[in-house]
Structure 1
Amino acid sequence: MSEPRSIAERLDDLPFTRKHRRVLTGSGIGWALDAMDVGLISFIIAALTQQWGISSGEAGLIASIGFLGMAIGASLGGLLADRFGRRQVFAITLLIYGIATGASALVGGVAVLLVLRFFVGLGLGAELPVASTYVSEFAPARIRGRIIVILEAFWAVGWTAAALIGYFVVPASDDGWRWAFALGAIPAVWALVVRWALPESPRWLGGHGRAAEAEVIVASFEAEAAKLPAATIQAAATPAPPAHAQAAEKASGADSAAAGTAAARPTASASRLAGIWSRELRGRTLAIWIVWFCVNFAYYGAFIWIPSILVDAGFSLVRSFGFTLIITLAQLPGYAVAAWLIEVWGRRLTLSVFLIGSAVSAILFGTVHAEGAIIATGMALSFFNLGAWGALYAVTPELYPTSLRGTGAGSAAGFGRIASIIAPLTVPLLLAAGGSGLTFGVFSIFFVVAAAATWGLVDRKGQALDDR
């Protein structure tokens, strides 16, 4: 008589069902609302520069204080998600940054805005790694990477929404930026949907002694799968068997599985943060921290400042916002191509190719001046950069076992947010020293370093998640 199949095996072998779609969409909408908030601040900074006469230093501080909150939030969010559950922390983070964003509509000066932007960042930073961890733990092994890239594609939807609000709402009146902030309060409402309409991760429940609750959730997914056509179910059952056989295998293969389990699982004397720096995991942790740092620096340094850079170049506020909107539209095809390639080429190759494409695009964007060239190179930067983000969010949770997954993903994101704090403050100095050519040349170097670091990661394409 065969042994009963584990929760993880049953989840990995499922076809993609309506319940999977509900988890992906529910999380994706939260992700899009995150992006809308982050994107809006770039337009609002440009408007406040004209209305309040804030300096470039103050503008950089407004952007950076949010990223300081994100750095703290990302690290705390991962730890809390491993302790209290993915869904619970996901909903709380949406509530925090939604309320803080809505309150920002009422501010009358820079000081209060800075305080609220910190709390916005706290919620945003905690939400992103938790959401990717949450969805990855539901996704079938054979399409897990693709599903996470699709989740990340919701970022482009949110950033496009921010560009539309920036183009139509922010310049419409002196209070346009206030209305933009008011729209950013929507996540507070969506938090209720996440809390009550989405299930908790069965992998997390199983790892915390709540097997009965996990069984109910997995059984409901299996019942949904039973309603699908037989051909769909058969297609889901054909992936390569090494997925489960290799679930606990080490990247190096040098140590025994038992030693790996001891290294990976946090104990009473070894915290979760110490666990991600164990002998087994330290190499991939270092590599993913470098990638996150470099990508954050280049992405936020560029995209937070693009509207203001275009205004400084002589374009009107409305025209620069229009250019930014067009550039933003290239994000969606970037995600679409990355979502396809990630299950064909694998995580590392896809990520490194998109990062090299980002490096080339950054150099070109920083050296052109004609309107058509600005739009074309800006769209290329959007395409490659956001495709890289999709691959990065797909690979990060896969590097760690379930007991450390939230902590590992959250700490990498938190370390990356340090770069997103530094970048907005650095851009004015780079622009003053050498203009957009030097500024985007520096971004290109960061993209190249990130591309090199990807080869220190473990590629788990088609394999089951490590459920230790």
Structure 2
Amino acid sequence: MRTRTQRLDELPFTPRHRRMLGGAGIGWALDAMDVGLISFVMAALTVQWGLTPTENSLVASIGFVGMAIGASVGGLLADKFGRRYVFALTLLVYGLATGAAALSTGLVMLIALRFLVGLGLGAELPVASTLISEFAPRKIRGRVVVGLEAFWALGWILAALIGYFVVPLGDDGWRWALAFGLVPAAYALVIRFGMPESVRYLESRGKQAEAEAVVRRFEDSAGPDHKPSVQDLREREGGHEGVTPAGRADPGTQPAAAGLPDERGDSLWSRRYRGRSLALWIVWFGINFSYYGAFIWLPSLLVAQGFDLVKSFEYTLIITLAQLPGYAAAAWLIEVWGRRLTLAVFLSGSAVAAGLFGLADSPGTVIAAGMALSFFNLGAWGALYAIGPELYPTAMRATGTGQAAAFGRLASIIAPLLVPLLLDGGGQVLVFAVFAIAFVIAALAAFTLPELKGTALEESGRVSRAADIR
């Protein structure tokens, strides 16, 4: 008898998958919009409040402090209380905090609220990618998760549009921009009542009837050719919860899948997983360091080069548009080349683009190098979110991706603080040379990750060991 997870894996991409991806993707886009908006707010407050580069660095970095904590705690909470509930809670937290930040009366208040925003943002991303990866059909799982990550580009483009059209309207333009952050708080209700809970999580908590109902809804959406056989239904309805009529334990409800480590005591740093955990953490650190160091400071760096505020926002918007084809390319290549090669190639391309951006000295070269950086960097992000959840079994999948994301957020804290020092030491050339080096290190680490394209997600570490030596 096929397990529920096998039945999900064998389904085509159904209208229910599409609605779920869209629902999670909208939350993801709102997350990106919030992160992107702060870069435009920083540039505006430099003019209006006279913020120094150090004060701007604090505004940028404090959000990433919250994201580091949120990513770590969010993964743990998702493995304990469920993916859907934690996803909705994170949207509520950062939506309300962003709306409150629009009322900031000074730097201290803005910094405090940005920390709360970061808590919600950091927790959301690994939880959402874990939820989507656990529902996506096995043959296109990587492509679906990259599709989720592509919503980040839509959110960042929305932030650029708000930055371009709203922030320059007047002294309160940045406040109206942050007020858009209230949208995720309302959308949290849609997530809470409109998204299914992970079948793997439900089984791990012994909620067999609820898990079966979720699977059948997806099978119904796929059409009559993909509904379970009469024999399968009789066996499920005739057996006890979690046990087949023949008395065999259902593979989806083994103790190891019930939120407990298996008999080998696997953890993120056990012998089986320590190599992939280390490589994943290095990739997360490198990509966060370079991405947030570059893009959070991009409007301000353009202003420092002599472009006025509106022109710098215009260039940032154009550069941001290149994120979309980057995601599209990664989504196709990840099922052709595989996760590891796609991630490594896009990280390498990011390194080259960062070096070229550091040398750019005219509007044309700034835009061209910036678009190349957007293309490769965001394609790498898509591949990274696809590969992370595949590396760990159900009982620690959200924890594993969340801990790696939390470590990466340390880099996103450091990078904005480091940019002013690098600018003083060697200008823009030094800044982007350091970013290029970080991308290279991340690309080398990516080559050491196992290639898991086309394999089923692990339930409790009982997947074939062949995946470890590819």
TM over 0.5, shorter chain: yes
2: distance between equivalents of 1:175 and 1:446? 37
TM-score (norm: length of structure 2): 0.90
Letter in 2 for 1:295: I
2: distance between equivalents of 1:278 and 1:208? 24
Q: Which of 16, 28, 34 is the matching residue for 1:31? A: 28
Aligned to 1:150: 147
- Deviation readout 1:307-364 (Å, 9 max, x if unpaired): 0000011000000000000000000000000000000000000000000000000000
Aligned to 1:442: 434
Counterpart of 2:277 in 1: which secondary structure?
helix
CA RMSD in angstroms, aligned pairs only: 1.8
- Deviation readout 1:60-89 (Å, 9 max, x if unpaired): 000000000000000000000000000000
1: distance between equivalents of 2:186 and 2:309? 31
- Deviation readout 1:222-250 (Å, 9 max, x if unpaired): 011115xx6xx69xxxxxxxxxxxxxxxx
2: distance between equivalents of 1:16 and 1:149? 14
Instruction: Call closer, same or farther: CA 1:265–1:361 in 2, change over 3 Å.
Output: farther
Q: Which of 283, 286, 290 is the matching residue for 2:278? A: 286
The answer (yes or no) to whether the contact 2:75–2:403 under 8 Å persists in 1 is yes
Q: Which of 59, 82, 87 is the matching residue for 1:85? A: 82
Aligned to 1:167: 164
Instruction: Call closer, same or farther: CA 1:143–1:442 in 2, change over 3 Å.
Output: same
**Aligned: 1:123 with 2:115:** no
The answer (yes or no) to whether the contact 2:255–2:262 under 8 Å persists in 1 is no
**How many residue pairs align between the two structures?**
434
Letter in 2 for 1:284: R
2: distance between equivalents of 1:380 and 1:389? 14
Letter in 2 for 1:33: L
Unaligned stretches of 5+ residues in structure 1: 235-260
Shift of 1:269: 12
Aligned to 1:467: 459
**Aligned: 1:44 with 2:41:** yes
1: distance between equivalents of 2:85 and 2:434? 39
2: distance between equivalents of 1:10 and 1:293? 36
1: distance between equivalents of 2:333 and 2:360? 30
Unaligned stretches of 5+ residues in structure 2: 228-253, 461-470
Counterpart of 1:90 in 2: which secondary structure?
helix
Q: Which of 186, 190, 194 is the matching residue for 1:189? A: 186
Aligned to 1:301: 293
Q: Which of 174, 177, 189 is the matching residue for 2:174? A: 177
In the TM superposition, what are the counterparts of 1:31-430 in structure 2 within 5 Å?
31-226=28-223, 267=260, 275-430=267-422
The answer (yes or no) to whether the contact 1:263–1:275 under 8 Å persists in 2 is no
Shift of 1:457: 1.2
Q: Which of 3, 7, 12 is the matching residue for 2:9? A: 12
Shift of 1:456: 2.0
Shift of 1:265: 8.2
Aligned to 1:239: none
Counterpart of 2:447 in 1: which secondary structure?
helix
1: distance between equivalents of 2:40 and 2:320? 13
Aligned to 1:255: none
Shift of 1:155: 0.1
Letter in 2 for 1:416: G
The answer (yes or no) to whether the contact 1:264–1:404 under 8 Å persists in 2 is no
2: distance between equivalents of 1:454 and 1:268? 26
1: distance between equivalents of 2:81 and 2:350? 37
Instruction: Call closer, same or farther: CA 1:358–1:265 in 2, change over 3 Å.
Output: farther
Counterpart of 1:9 in 2: which secondary structure?
helix
2: distance between equivalents of 1:441 and 1:170? 31
Letter in 1 for 2:440: V
